[in-house]
Chain A
Protein backbone atom coordinates (compact mmCIF):
# COMPACT_ATOMS: atom_id res chain seq x y z
CA UNK A 1 0.00 0.00 0.00
CA UNK A 2 2.70 2.45 1.07
CA UNK A 3 4.67 1.73 -2.10
CA UNK A 4 1.76 2.21 -4.44
CA UNK A 5 0.84 5.40 -2.68
CA UNK A 6 4.30 6.92 -2.96
CA UNK A 7 4.55 5.74 -6.56
CA UNK A 8 1.98 8.28 -7.56
CA UNK A 9 3.91 11.18 -6.09
CA UNK A 10 6.26 13.31 -8.21
CA UNK A 11 7.64 11.41 -11.17
CA UNK A 12 8.84 12.58 -14.57
CA UNK A 13 6.86 10.60 -17.15
CA UNK A 14 8.27 9.16 -20.35
CA UNK A 15 6.48 11.75 -22.49
CA UNK A 16 8.06 14.46 -20.37
CA UNK A 17 11.54 12.98 -20.88
CA UNK A 18 10.88 12.98 -24.61
CA UNK A 19 9.82 16.64 -24.51
CA UNK A 20 12.93 17.56 -22.52
CA UNK A 21 15.19 15.58 -24.83
CA UNK A 22 13.63 16.98 -27.99
CA UNK A 23 13.85 20.57 -26.82
CA UNK A 24 17.52 19.99 -25.95
CA UNK A 25 18.72 18.42 -29.19
CA UNK A 26 16.33 19.53 -31.96
CA UNK A 27 17.66 23.11 -32.28
CA UNK A 28 21.18 21.70 -32.76
CA UNK A 29 20.24 18.89 -35.15
CA UNK A 30 18.08 21.00 -37.42
CA UNK A 31 20.17 24.15 -37.03
CA UNK A 32 17.13 26.41 -36.89
CA UNK A 33 17.43 29.87 -38.39
CA UNK A 34 18.00 32.72 -35.91
CA UNK A 35 14.47 33.89 -36.69
CA UNK A 36 12.99 30.57 -35.66
CA UNK A 37 15.30 30.35 -32.65
CA UNK A 38 14.02 33.75 -31.62
CA UNK A 39 10.46 32.45 -31.71
CA UNK A 40 11.45 29.46 -29.59
CA UNK A 41 13.08 31.75 -27.05
CA UNK A 42 9.87 33.77 -26.78
CA UNK A 43 7.90 30.55 -26.38
CA UNK A 44 10.14 29.64 -23.44
CA UNK A 45 9.66 33.08 -21.91
CA UNK A 46 5.89 32.76 -22.17
CA UNK A 47 6.03 29.28 -20.67
CA UNK A 48 7.75 30.79 -17.62
CA UNK A 49 5.20 33.61 -17.35
CA UNK A 50 2.24 31.32 -18.10
CA UNK A 51 3.31 28.74 -15.49
CA UNK A 52 3.82 31.51 -12.99
CA UNK A 53 0.32 32.88 -13.61
CA UNK A 54 -1.17 29.39 -13.68
CA UNK A 55 0.11 28.51 -10.22
CA UNK A 56 -1.63 31.55 -8.79
CA UNK A 57 -4.79 31.64 -10.92
CA UNK A 58 -5.20 28.04 -12.03
CA UNK A 59 -4.18 26.27 -8.83
CA UNK A 60 -4.86 28.78 -6.06
CA UNK A 61 -7.79 30.65 -7.64
CA UNK A 62 -6.12 34.06 -7.40
CA UNK A 63 -6.68 35.44 -10.89
CA UNK A 64 -4.01 38.04 -11.51
CA UNK A 65 -4.57 40.67 -14.19
CA UNK A 66 -1.28 42.34 -13.39
CA UNK A 67 1.49 39.84 -13.96
CA UNK A 68 3.31 42.58 -15.86
CA UNK A 69 4.03 44.09 -12.42
CA UNK A 70 6.28 41.15 -11.45
CA UNK A 71 7.69 40.77 -14.95
CA UNK A 72 8.55 44.47 -15.08
CA UNK A 73 10.04 44.54 -11.61
CA UNK A 74 12.20 41.56 -12.53
CA UNK A 75 13.38 43.37 -15.65
CA UNK A 76 14.11 46.61 -13.80
CA UNK A 77 15.85 44.84 -10.92
CA UNK A 78 18.18 43.58 -13.65
CA UNK A 79 18.56 46.86 -15.52
CA UNK A 80 18.80 49.41 -12.69
CA UNK A 81 21.90 47.93 -10.98
CA UNK A 82 23.51 47.86 -14.44
CA UNK A 83 22.55 51.46 -15.16
CA UNK A 84 23.74 52.90 -11.86
CA UNK A 85 26.51 50.58 -10.72
CA UNK A 86 27.58 48.87 -13.93
CA UNK A 87 26.60 45.53 -12.44
CA UNK A 88 26.29 42.84 -15.13
CA UNK A 89 22.66 42.16 -16.05
CA UNK A 90 23.39 38.47 -15.54
CA UNK A 91 22.99 39.18 -11.84
CA UNK A 92 19.36 39.75 -12.75
CA UNK A 93 18.79 36.00 -12.68
CA UNK A 94 19.21 36.46 -8.93
CA UNK A 95 17.95 39.97 -8.24
CA UNK A 96 15.04 39.82 -10.69
CA UNK A 97 13.41 36.86 -8.99
CA UNK A 98 14.04 38.23 -5.50
CA UNK A 99 12.69 41.71 -6.32
CA UNK A 100 9.52 40.22 -7.76
CA UNK A 101 9.03 38.02 -4.69
CA UNK A 102 9.39 41.02 -2.38
CA UNK A 103 6.88 43.00 -4.43
CA UNK A 104 4.51 40.04 -4.53
CA UNK A 105 4.71 39.56 -0.78
CA UNK A 106 4.11 43.23 0.02
CA UNK A 107 1.23 43.43 -2.44
CA UNK A 108 -0.24 40.27 -0.97
CA UNK A 109 -0.65 42.06 2.34
CA UNK A 110 -3.01 44.45 0.56
CA UNK A 111 -4.69 42.57 -2.28
CA UNK A 112 -5.37 39.32 -0.37
CA UNK A 113 -8.05 41.22 1.49
CA UNK A 114 -9.86 41.35 -1.86
CA UNK A 115 -11.73 38.42 -3.33
CA UNK A 116 -12.71 37.49 -6.88
CA UNK A 117 -13.04 40.37 -9.36
CA UNK A 118 -11.75 42.87 -6.81
CA UNK A 119 -8.54 40.91 -6.48
CA UNK A 120 -8.16 40.94 -10.28
CA UNK A 121 -8.73 44.70 -10.39
CA UNK A 122 -6.28 45.25 -7.55
CA UNK A 123 -3.52 43.42 -9.41
CA UNK A 124 -4.34 45.24 -12.65
CA UNK A 125 -4.12 48.61 -10.92
CA UNK A 126 -0.77 47.67 -9.36
CA UNK A 127 0.87 47.01 -12.70
CA UNK A 128 -0.51 50.25 -14.14
CA UNK A 129 0.72 52.26 -11.16
CA UNK A 130 4.19 50.75 -11.53
CA UNK A 131 4.19 51.52 -15.27
CA UNK A 132 3.54 55.18 -14.52
CA UNK A 133 6.04 55.40 -11.64
CA UNK A 134 8.82 53.77 -13.67
CA UNK A 135 8.04 56.12 -16.54
CA UNK A 136 8.16 59.26 -14.41
CA UNK A 137 11.04 58.63 -11.99
CA UNK A 138 13.76 59.35 -14.54
CA UNK A 139 16.57 59.71 -11.98
CA UNK A 140 16.16 56.03 -11.17
CA UNK A 141 14.88 54.38 -14.33
CA UNK A 142 15.87 56.68 -17.20
CA UNK A 143 12.12 57.15 -17.72
CA UNK A 144 10.58 56.52 -21.11
CA UNK A 145 13.98 56.49 -22.82
CA UNK A 146 14.43 53.07 -21.27
CA UNK A 147 17.64 51.25 -20.38
CA UNK A 148 19.94 49.86 -23.05
CA UNK A 149 22.76 47.35 -22.77
CA UNK A 150 24.86 45.49 -25.34
CA UNK A 151 23.82 41.84 -25.15
CA UNK A 152 26.54 39.33 -24.35
CA UNK A 153 26.25 37.03 -27.37
CA UNK A 154 25.22 37.48 -30.97
CA UNK A 155 24.29 33.80 -31.30
CA UNK A 156 20.86 32.89 -29.98
CA UNK A 157 21.78 29.37 -28.87
CA UNK A 158 22.97 30.28 -25.36
CA UNK A 159 19.84 32.32 -24.76
CA UNK A 160 17.70 29.48 -25.98
CA UNK A 161 19.22 27.04 -23.50
CA UNK A 162 19.01 29.47 -20.61
CA UNK A 163 15.35 30.16 -21.43
CA UNK A 164 14.73 26.44 -21.76
CA UNK A 165 16.28 25.77 -18.36
CA UNK A 166 14.12 28.47 -16.77
CA UNK A 167 10.98 27.20 -18.54
CA UNK A 168 11.59 23.63 -17.41
CA UNK A 169 12.29 24.93 -13.92
CA UNK A 170 8.97 26.78 -13.90
CA UNK A 171 6.92 23.87 -15.27
CA UNK A 172 8.47 21.26 -13.01
CA UNK A 173 8.29 23.45 -9.92
CA UNK A 174 4.54 23.63 -10.52
CA UNK A 175 4.40 19.88 -11.05
CA UNK A 176 6.41 19.25 -7.91
CA UNK A 177 4.27 21.57 -5.82
CA UNK A 178 1.02 19.88 -6.89
CA UNK A 179 2.22 16.68 -5.25
CA UNK A 180 2.90 18.29 -1.90
CA UNK A 181 0.88 19.51 1.04
CA UNK A 182 1.14 23.08 -0.28
CA UNK A 183 -0.25 22.02 -3.66
CA UNK A 184 -3.28 20.39 -2.08
CA UNK A 185 -3.78 23.47 0.07
CA UNK A 186 -3.65 25.73 -3.00
CA UNK A 187 -6.38 23.67 -4.67
CA UNK A 188 -8.49 23.68 -1.51
CA UNK A 189 -8.27 27.47 -1.34
CA UNK A 190 -9.26 27.69 -5.01
CA UNK A 191 -12.27 25.45 -4.50
CA UNK A 192 -13.64 26.85 -1.25
CA UNK A 193 -11.83 29.19 1.09
CA UNK A 194 -14.19 28.58 4.04
CA UNK A 195 -13.98 24.81 3.70
CA UNK A 196 -10.20 25.14 3.50
CA UNK A 197 -10.06 27.01 6.82
CA UNK A 198 -12.18 24.28 8.44
CA UNK A 199 -9.58 21.73 7.31
CA UNK A 200 -6.93 23.57 9.30
CA UNK A 201 -5.48 25.47 6.34
CA UNK A 202 -3.96 28.85 7.10
CA UNK A 203 -5.30 30.35 3.88
CA UNK A 204 -3.39 33.61 4.21
CA UNK A 205 -0.08 31.80 4.66
CA UNK A 206 -0.62 29.46 1.72
CA UNK A 207 -1.74 32.28 -0.57
CA UNK A 208 1.55 33.94 0.30
CA UNK A 209 3.50 30.78 -0.50
CA UNK A 210 1.75 30.52 -3.88
CA UNK A 211 2.54 34.16 -4.55
CA UNK A 212 6.21 33.73 -3.67
CA UNK A 213 6.66 30.84 -6.11
CA UNK A 214 4.61 32.52 -8.82
CA UNK A 215 6.22 35.94 -8.60
CA UNK A 216 9.70 34.42 -8.49
CA UNK A 217 9.22 32.91 -11.95
CA UNK A 218 7.56 36.04 -13.33
CA UNK A 219 10.55 38.06 -12.09
CA UNK A 220 12.95 35.59 -13.67
CA UNK A 221 11.12 35.93 -16.97
CA UNK A 222 11.51 39.71 -16.71
CA UNK A 223 15.21 39.40 -15.89
CA UNK A 224 15.71 37.07 -18.83
CA UNK A 225 13.88 39.48 -21.12
CA UNK A 226 16.30 42.28 -20.19
CA UNK A 227 19.35 40.04 -20.61
CA UNK A 228 18.17 38.74 -23.97
CA UNK A 229 16.68 41.87 -25.53
CA UNK A 230 19.17 44.33 -24.11
CA UNK A 231 16.54 47.03 -23.90
CA UNK A 232 13.54 47.75 -21.70
CA UNK A 233 11.22 50.66 -21.12
CA UNK A 234 8.18 50.91 -18.83
CA UNK A 235 5.64 50.79 -21.65
CA UNK A 236 7.01 47.43 -22.76
CA UNK A 237 7.63 45.54 -19.54
CA UNK A 238 4.66 46.85 -17.54
CA UNK A 239 2.32 46.63 -20.53
CA UNK A 240 -1.24 45.62 -19.76
CA UNK A 241 -2.09 44.11 -23.12
CA UNK A 242 1.33 42.92 -24.22
CA UNK A 243 2.29 41.24 -20.95
CA UNK A 244 -0.55 40.90 -18.40
CA UNK A 245 -3.28 39.98 -20.87
CA UNK A 246 -1.13 37.75 -23.07
CA UNK A 247 -0.04 35.91 -19.91
CA UNK A 248 -3.68 35.20 -19.12
CA UNK A 249 -4.34 34.08 -22.70
CA UNK A 250 -1.40 31.67 -22.55
CA UNK A 251 -2.87 30.18 -19.38
CA UNK A 252 -6.47 30.01 -20.58
CA UNK A 253 -5.81 28.66 -24.08
CA UNK A 254 -3.36 26.05 -22.83
CA UNK A 255 -5.46 24.99 -19.87
CA UNK A 256 -6.00 26.61 -16.50
CA UNK A 257 -4.86 24.42 -13.62
CA UNK A 258 -2.92 21.95 -15.77
CA UNK A 259 0.84 21.42 -15.62
CA UNK A 260 1.58 21.51 -19.37
CA UNK A 261 -1.20 23.94 -20.27
CA UNK A 262 0.99 27.07 -20.22
CA UNK A 263 3.55 25.36 -22.47
CA UNK A 264 0.92 24.51 -25.08
CA UNK A 265 -0.65 27.94 -24.68
CA UNK A 266 2.72 29.63 -25.17
CA UNK A 267 3.37 27.75 -28.42
CA UNK A 268 -0.09 28.62 -29.77
CA UNK A 269 0.14 32.26 -28.74
CA UNK A 270 3.62 32.94 -30.07
CA UNK A 271 2.81 31.41 -33.45
CA UNK A 272 -0.53 33.20 -33.62
CA UNK A 273 1.17 36.47 -32.77
CA UNK A 274 3.85 35.89 -35.39
CA UNK A 275 1.31 34.87 -38.00
CA UNK A 276 -0.52 38.12 -37.58
CA UNK A 277 2.46 40.39 -37.18
CA UNK A 278 3.87 39.14 -40.47
CA UNK A 279 0.38 39.07 -42.12
CA UNK A 280 0.69 35.30 -42.52
CA UNK A 281 4.34 35.63 -43.59
CA UNK A 282 3.55 38.31 -46.14
CA UNK A 283 1.00 36.20 -47.99
CA UNK A 284 -2.00 38.17 -46.74
CA UNK A 285 -2.55 41.91 -47.16
CA UNK A 286 -0.70 44.09 -44.70
CA UNK A 287 -3.82 45.36 -42.88
CA UNK A 288 -4.36 41.89 -41.39
CA UNK A 289 -1.57 42.55 -38.90
CA UNK A 290 -3.71 45.23 -37.26
CA UNK A 291 -6.39 42.71 -36.38
CA UNK A 292 -4.39 40.51 -34.03
CA UNK A 293 -6.01 41.87 -30.85
CA UNK A 294 -9.44 41.20 -32.30
CA UNK A 295 -8.53 37.64 -33.19
CA UNK A 296 -7.07 37.00 -29.73
CA UNK A 297 -10.31 38.26 -28.24
CA UNK A 298 -12.37 35.94 -30.42
CA UNK A 299 -10.05 33.06 -29.58
CA UNK A 300 -10.57 33.60 -25.86
CA UNK A 301 -14.35 33.73 -26.29
CA UNK A 302 -14.21 30.50 -28.25
CA UNK A 303 -12.03 28.75 -25.66
CA UNK A 304 -14.16 29.87 -22.72
CA UNK A 305 -17.41 28.84 -24.43
CA UNK A 306 -16.37 25.53 -25.98
CA UNK A 307 -13.35 24.25 -24.10
CA UNK A 308 -13.18 25.89 -20.72
CA UNK A 309 -10.40 23.49 -19.69
CA UNK A 310 -8.13 24.79 -22.45
CA UNK A 311 -6.29 22.60 -24.94
CA UNK A 312 -4.61 20.44 -22.30
CA UNK A 313 -7.53 20.39 -19.86
CA UNK A 314 -10.03 19.35 -22.53
CA UNK A 315 -7.66 17.26 -24.59
CA UNK A 316 -9.75 14.08 -24.23
CA UNK A 317 -12.81 15.95 -25.45
CA UNK A 318 -10.95 17.49 -28.38
CA UNK A 319 -9.31 14.25 -29.51
CA UNK A 320 -12.64 12.43 -29.27
CA UNK A 321 -14.29 15.06 -31.48
CA UNK A 322 -11.49 14.84 -34.01
CA UNK A 323 -11.75 11.06 -34.07
CA UNK A 324 -15.52 11.02 -34.55
CA UNK A 325 -15.23 13.66 -37.26
CA UNK A 326 -12.60 11.50 -38.92
CA UNK A 327 -14.76 8.39 -38.69
CA UNK A 328 -17.74 10.20 -40.19
CA UNK A 329 -15.63 11.38 -43.07
CA UNK A 330 -14.55 7.82 -43.86
CA UNK A 331 -18.14 6.65 -43.92
Chain B
Protein backbone atom coordinates (compact mmCIF):
# COMPACT_ATOMS: atom_id res chain seq x y z
CA UNK B 1 0.00 0.00 0.00
CA UNK B 2 1.18 3.51 -0.69
CA UNK B 3 1.88 5.37 2.57
CA UNK B 4 2.49 8.71 0.93
CA UNK B 5 2.00 9.86 -2.63
CA UNK B 6 3.35 13.18 -3.81
CA UNK B 7 2.08 14.14 -7.23
CA UNK B 8 3.37 17.04 -9.30
CA UNK B 9 4.19 19.07 -6.19
CA UNK B 10 5.29 22.65 -6.82
CA UNK B 11 6.13 25.48 -4.43
CA UNK B 12 6.80 29.02 -5.58
CA UNK B 13 8.10 31.73 -3.21
CA UNK B 14 7.63 35.04 -4.99
CA UNK B 15 9.69 34.59 -8.16
CA UNK B 16 11.63 31.56 -6.91
CA UNK B 17 10.46 28.04 -7.67
CA UNK B 18 11.74 26.07 -4.68
CA UNK B 19 10.10 22.78 -5.64
CA UNK B 20 9.23 22.10 -9.24
CA UNK B 21 6.83 19.35 -10.27
CA UNK B 22 8.18 16.65 -7.95
CA UNK B 23 6.40 13.30 -7.77
CA UNK B 24 7.19 10.17 -5.79
CA UNK B 25 5.47 7.39 -3.93
CA UNK B 26 6.52 5.88 -0.61
CA UNK B 27 5.37 2.34 0.20
CA UNK B 28 4.24 1.25 3.64
CA UNK B 29 7.16 -0.07 5.70
CA UNK B 30 9.78 1.54 3.51
CA UNK B 31 12.72 3.73 4.50
CA UNK B 32 12.76 6.30 1.75
CA UNK B 33 15.71 8.65 1.33
CA UNK B 34 15.36 12.17 -0.02
CA UNK B 35 18.69 13.68 -1.06
CA UNK B 36 19.92 16.76 -2.86
CA UNK B 37 22.47 19.54 -2.46
CA UNK B 38 21.83 22.45 -0.08
CA UNK B 39 18.84 24.52 -1.10
CA UNK B 40 17.46 21.88 -3.44
CA UNK B 41 14.06 21.88 -1.74
CA UNK B 42 14.09 18.86 0.56
CA UNK B 43 12.96 20.66 3.67
CA UNK B 44 10.44 22.61 1.60
CA UNK B 45 8.86 19.30 0.59
CA UNK B 46 8.70 18.27 4.27
CA UNK B 47 7.18 21.61 5.16
CA UNK B 48 4.53 21.13 2.52
CA UNK B 49 3.71 17.61 3.70
CA UNK B 50 3.29 18.85 7.27
CA UNK B 51 1.50 21.96 6.01
CA UNK B 52 3.84 24.62 7.37
CA UNK B 53 3.85 25.87 3.79
CA UNK B 54 0.82 25.91 1.57
CA UNK B 55 1.14 23.97 -1.66
CA UNK B 56 1.33 26.09 -4.83
CA UNK B 57 0.16 23.24 -7.03
CA UNK B 58 0.06 19.47 -6.92
CA UNK B 59 -1.39 16.99 -4.44
CA UNK B 60 -0.29 15.07 -1.37
CA UNK B 61 -2.03 11.79 -0.47
CA UNK B 62 -1.55 9.98 2.84
CA UNK B 63 -2.76 6.36 2.76
CA UNK B 64 -4.87 7.34 -0.23
CA UNK B 65 -6.47 10.32 1.49
CA UNK B 66 -5.94 13.80 0.06
CA UNK B 67 -4.20 15.86 2.76
CA UNK B 68 -3.15 18.81 0.62
CA UNK B 69 -5.23 21.37 2.51
CA UNK B 70 -5.16 20.05 6.06
CA UNK B 71 -3.82 22.01 9.03
CA UNK B 72 -0.45 21.24 10.59
CA UNK B 73 -1.84 19.76 13.80
CA UNK B 74 -4.33 17.65 11.82
CA UNK B 75 -1.47 16.15 9.83
CA UNK B 76 0.22 15.14 13.08
CA UNK B 77 -3.00 13.62 14.43
CA UNK B 78 -3.59 11.72 11.18
CA UNK B 79 -0.26 9.98 11.77
CA UNK B 80 2.56 11.90 10.13
CA UNK B 81 5.26 12.77 12.66
CA UNK B 82 8.18 15.00 11.83
CA UNK B 83 11.44 16.31 13.22
CA UNK B 84 12.93 19.72 12.53
CA UNK B 85 16.29 20.29 10.90
CA UNK B 86 16.72 23.33 13.14
CA UNK B 87 15.69 21.57 16.34
CA UNK B 88 12.79 23.01 18.30
CA UNK B 89 13.02 21.68 21.85
CA UNK B 90 10.51 22.98 24.39
CA UNK B 91 13.46 24.45 26.25
CA UNK B 92 12.13 25.14 29.71
CA UNK B 93 10.46 21.74 29.96
CA UNK B 94 12.34 18.60 30.91
CA UNK B 95 13.12 15.92 28.34
CA UNK B 96 10.36 13.77 29.81
CA UNK B 97 7.84 16.62 29.73
CA UNK B 98 8.72 17.28 26.10
CA UNK B 99 7.89 13.70 25.21
CA UNK B 100 4.79 13.68 27.43
CA UNK B 101 3.46 16.76 25.64
CA UNK B 102 3.77 14.78 22.41
CA UNK B 103 2.27 11.63 23.92
CA UNK B 104 -0.91 13.52 24.80
CA UNK B 105 -1.74 13.32 21.10
CA UNK B 106 -2.86 9.72 21.79
CA UNK B 107 -3.26 9.66 25.57
CA UNK B 108 -5.74 11.62 27.64
CA UNK B 109 -4.48 11.08 31.18
CA UNK B 110 -1.32 12.23 32.94
CA UNK B 111 -0.43 8.65 33.92
CA UNK B 112 -1.01 7.37 30.40
CA UNK B 113 1.16 10.04 28.84
CA UNK B 114 3.91 9.43 31.39
CA UNK B 115 3.85 5.71 30.68
CA UNK B 116 4.00 6.28 26.92
CA UNK B 117 6.83 8.79 27.35
CA UNK B 118 8.80 6.32 29.45
CA UNK B 119 8.57 3.71 26.71
CA UNK B 120 9.64 6.12 23.99
CA UNK B 121 12.52 7.49 26.08
CA UNK B 122 13.82 3.97 26.64
CA UNK B 123 13.49 3.19 22.94
CA UNK B 124 15.51 6.29 22.03
CA UNK B 125 18.00 5.72 24.88
CA UNK B 126 17.16 9.07 26.42
CA UNK B 127 15.87 7.72 29.74
CA UNK B 128 19.04 8.76 31.57
CA UNK B 129 18.41 12.39 30.61
CA UNK B 130 14.67 12.45 31.33
CA UNK B 131 14.87 14.96 34.19
CA UNK B 132 17.11 17.38 32.35
CA UNK B 133 15.78 20.65 30.91
CA UNK B 134 15.62 20.30 27.13
CA UNK B 135 17.36 23.66 26.70
CA UNK B 136 20.44 22.23 28.41
CA UNK B 137 20.86 19.23 26.10
CA UNK B 138 23.85 18.96 23.77
CA UNK B 139 23.13 18.74 20.05
CA UNK B 140 23.06 14.93 19.91
CA UNK B 141 20.50 14.88 22.71
CA UNK B 142 18.39 17.54 21.02
CA UNK B 143 18.37 15.61 17.74
CA UNK B 144 17.39 12.46 19.60
CA UNK B 145 14.68 14.36 21.48
CA UNK B 146 13.21 15.46 18.14
CA UNK B 147 12.90 11.79 17.16
CA UNK B 148 11.50 10.79 20.57
CA UNK B 149 8.87 13.51 20.46
CA UNK B 150 7.79 12.60 16.94
CA UNK B 151 7.57 8.91 17.95
CA UNK B 152 5.48 9.75 21.01
CA UNK B 153 2.72 11.02 18.70
CA UNK B 154 2.58 7.39 17.42
CA UNK B 155 3.00 8.18 13.75
CA UNK B 156 2.33 5.86 10.84
CA UNK B 157 4.84 7.80 8.78
CA UNK B 158 7.87 9.62 10.16
CA UNK B 159 9.65 12.47 8.41
CA UNK B 160 13.24 12.78 9.62
CA UNK B 161 14.93 16.03 8.63
CA UNK B 162 18.73 15.78 9.00
CA UNK B 163 18.60 14.08 12.36
CA UNK B 164 22.21 12.88 11.97
CA UNK B 165 23.78 16.26 11.19
CA UNK B 166 26.37 17.41 13.70
CA UNK B 167 26.83 14.04 15.39
CA UNK B 168 30.18 12.38 16.11
CA UNK B 169 30.91 8.92 14.63
CA UNK B 170 29.76 7.06 17.72
CA UNK B 171 26.52 9.06 17.98
CA UNK B 172 26.03 8.54 14.26
CA UNK B 173 26.09 4.76 14.58
CA UNK B 174 23.62 4.99 17.43
CA UNK B 175 21.34 7.22 15.35
CA UNK B 176 21.45 4.76 12.43
CA UNK B 177 20.61 1.94 14.80
CA UNK B 178 17.61 3.83 16.21
CA UNK B 179 16.27 4.68 12.75
CA UNK B 180 16.56 1.03 11.69
CA UNK B 181 14.71 -0.04 14.82
CA UNK B 182 11.95 2.49 14.15
CA UNK B 183 11.05 0.45 11.10
CA UNK B 184 11.91 -3.06 12.29
CA UNK B 185 10.41 -2.84 15.79
CA UNK B 186 7.74 -0.17 15.51
CA UNK B 187 6.80 -0.81 11.88
CA UNK B 188 6.84 2.89 11.04
CA UNK B 189 7.39 4.06 7.47
CA UNK B 190 10.24 6.58 7.29
CA UNK B 191 11.16 9.35 4.88
CA UNK B 192 14.62 10.63 5.62
CA UNK B 193 16.41 13.76 4.46
CA UNK B 194 20.12 13.50 5.07
CA UNK B 195 23.44 14.85 3.83
CA UNK B 196 25.60 12.21 5.47
CA UNK B 197 25.92 9.54 2.80
CA UNK B 198 26.92 6.90 5.31
CA UNK B 199 23.49 7.20 6.87
CA UNK B 200 21.37 7.52 3.79
CA UNK B 201 23.16 4.78 1.82
CA UNK B 202 23.13 2.25 4.64
CA UNK B 203 19.49 2.51 5.64
CA UNK B 204 17.39 3.60 2.67
CA UNK B 205 15.49 1.10 0.56
CA UNK B 206 15.06 3.63 -2.20
CA UNK B 207 16.36 7.13 -2.75
CA UNK B 208 14.86 10.10 -4.54
CA UNK B 209 17.36 12.79 -5.58
CA UNK B 210 16.47 16.38 -6.33
CA UNK B 211 18.45 19.45 -7.40
CA UNK B 212 17.15 23.00 -7.83
CA UNK B 213 13.72 21.78 -6.82
CA UNK B 214 13.39 19.17 -9.58
CA UNK B 215 13.78 15.39 -9.62
CA UNK B 216 17.10 14.18 -11.03
CA UNK B 217 17.13 10.52 -10.12
CA UNK B 218 15.30 7.78 -8.25
CA UNK B 219 16.19 4.19 -7.42
CA UNK B 220 18.09 1.99 -5.02
CA UNK B 221 21.00 3.61 -3.14
CA UNK B 222 23.50 1.97 -5.48
CA UNK B 223 21.72 3.12 -8.63
CA UNK B 224 21.42 6.68 -7.38
CA UNK B 225 25.04 6.82 -6.23
CA UNK B 226 26.20 5.86 -9.70
CA UNK B 227 23.90 8.23 -11.52
CA UNK B 228 25.98 10.86 -13.35
CA UNK B 229 23.37 13.63 -12.83
CA UNK B 230 23.48 13.05 -9.09
CA UNK B 231 27.28 13.16 -9.07
CA UNK B 232 27.18 16.30 -11.16
CA UNK B 233 24.72 17.94 -8.80
CA UNK B 234 26.91 17.17 -5.80
CA UNK B 235 30.44 17.46 -7.16
CA UNK B 236 30.23 19.33 -10.50
CA UNK B 237 30.36 18.15 -14.10
CA UNK B 238 34.11 17.36 -14.06
CA UNK B 239 33.62 14.51 -11.65
CA UNK B 240 30.52 13.30 -13.41
CA UNK B 241 32.50 13.06 -16.64
CA UNK B 242 35.31 11.12 -15.02
CA UNK B 243 32.84 8.77 -13.51
CA UNK B 244 31.32 8.12 -16.93
CA UNK B 245 34.77 7.39 -18.36
CA UNK B 246 35.54 5.07 -15.50
CA UNK B 247 32.39 3.12 -16.19
CA UNK B 248 33.39 2.66 -19.84
The 29 sampled A-B contact pairs (Cβ below 8 Å) are: A2-B111, A5-B110, A8-B114, A179-B110, A181-B107, A184-B97, A184-B100, A184-B113, A187-B92, A187-B101, A191-B91, A192-B89, A195-B84, A195-B90, A195-B149, A196-B101, A197-B73, A198-B72, A198-B81, A198-B82, A198-B84, A199-B76, A199-B101, A199-B105, A200-B73, A200-B76, A200-B102, A200-B153, A202-B73
Say yes or no: is A185 at the interface (Cβ < 8 Å to chain B).
Answer: yes
Residue of B nearest to A1 (CB): B115
Q: Whole-angstrom distance between the alpha carbons of A316 and B233 in the complex?
A: 56
Docked Cα-Cα span, A203 to B71, in Å, equals: 11
Q: Is A16 an interface residue (CB 8 A)?
A: no
Using Cβ atoms and an 8 Å threshold, which residues of chain A touch B109? Answer: 6, 9
How far does the alpha carbon of A187 sit from the alpha carbon of B96 in the complex, in Å?
13
Docked complex Cα distance between A98 and B4 (Å): 46
Give chain B residues whose Cβ lies under 8 Å from the Cβ of A6.
109-111
Please, how many angstroms separate the alpha-carbon atoms of A198 and B153 in the complex?
Answer: 9
On whether A199 and B102 interact (CB within 8 A), knowing A9-B110, A187-B93, A191-B90, the answer reads yes
**Candidate in A6, A196, A199 with the most chain B CB atoms within 10 angstroms:** A199
CB distance from B115 to the nearest CB of A (A): 6
Interface residues of B in 89-130 (CB under 8 A from A): 89-93, 97, 100-102, 104-105, 107-111, 113-115, 118
Smallest Cβ distance from B71 to chain A, in angstroms?
Answer: 8
Q: Which of B50, B88, B108 contacts A192 (CB 8 A)?
A: B88
A300 interface residue (CB < 8 Å to B): no
Cβ-closest chain B residue relative to A199: B102
Q: How far is the CA of A203 from the CA of B108 in the complex (A)?
A: 17
> Is B239 part of the contact surface with A, judged by Cβ < 8 Å?
no
Most buried by A among B77, B100, B114: B114
**Shortest Cβ gap from A11 to chain B (Å):** 11
- A200-218 CB mask vs B (1 if < 8 Å, else 0) is 1111000000000000000
Docked Cα-Cα span, A302 to B88, in Å, equals 31
A244 at the interface (CB under 8 A from B): no
A244–B202 alpha-carbon span in the complex (Å): 59
Interface residue ranges, A against B (CB under 8 Å): 1-2, 5-6, 8-10, 179-181, 184-185, 187-188, 191-192, 194-203, 257
Which of B104, B111, B114 makes the CB contact (< 8 A) with A185? Answer: B104
- Chain B residues near A2 (CB-CB < 8 A): 111, 115
Chain B residues, Cβ within 8 Å of A181? 104, 107-108, 113
| Chain A residues with CB below 8 A from B110, complex form | 5-6, 8-10, 179-180
Asked if B76 and A5 make an inter-chain contact with CB atoms under 8 angstroms apart, the answer reads no
Knowing A2-B115, A179-B110, say if A200 contacts B105 (CB, 8 Å). Answer: yes
**B234 CB within 8 Å of chain A:** no
Which residue of A has the minimal Cβ distance to B99? A199
Of all chain B residues, which has the CB nearest A201? B73
Q: Are B82 and A188 neighbours in the complex by a CB distance under 8 Å? A: no
Nearest 9 CB-CB pairings of A with B: A200-B76, A191-B90, A195-B88, A200-B105, A6-B111, A197-B72, A5-B114, A9-B110, A181-B104
User: Can you name 5 extra interface pairs (CB under 8 A) apart from A187-B93, A187-B101, A201-B76?
Assistant: A184-B104, A191-B90, A192-B91, A197-B52, A198-B81
By a CB distance below 8 angstroms, the chain B residues around A185 are 101, 104
Is there contact, CB below 8 Å, between A191 and B77?
Answer: no
Q: Which residues of A contact B153 (CB under 8 A)?
A: 199-200
Q: Which B residues touch A9, using CB under 8 A?
A: 109-111
Within 8 Å CB of A198, what residues of B?
Answer: 50, 72-73, 76, 81-82, 84, 88, 150
User: Roughly how many angstroms separate A181 CA and B108 CA in the complex, as a whole number?
Assistant: 6
A188 touches B73 (CB 8 A): no
User: In the bound complex, what is the Cα–Cα distance between A200 and B110 (angstroms)?
Assistant: 17
Contact A199 B91 (CB under 8 A): no
A161 to chain B, nearest CB (A): 32
User: Please, which residue of chain B has its CB at the minimum distance from the CB of A197?
Assistant: B72
CA distance A257 to B88 in the complex (A): 20
Complex interface: chain A residues within 8 A of B111 (CB): 2, 5-6, 9
The distance from the CB of A113 to the nearest CB of chain B, in whole angstroms, is 15
Are A194's CB and B90's CB within 8 A? no
Q: A202 CA to B77 CA in the complex, in Å?
A: 10
Q: Which residue of A lies closest to B117 (CB)?
A: A5
Q: CB-CB < 8 A to B114: which residues of A?
A: 5, 8
- Would you give the shortest CB distance from A281 to chain B, in whole angstroms? 40
B52 touches A184 (CB 8 A): no
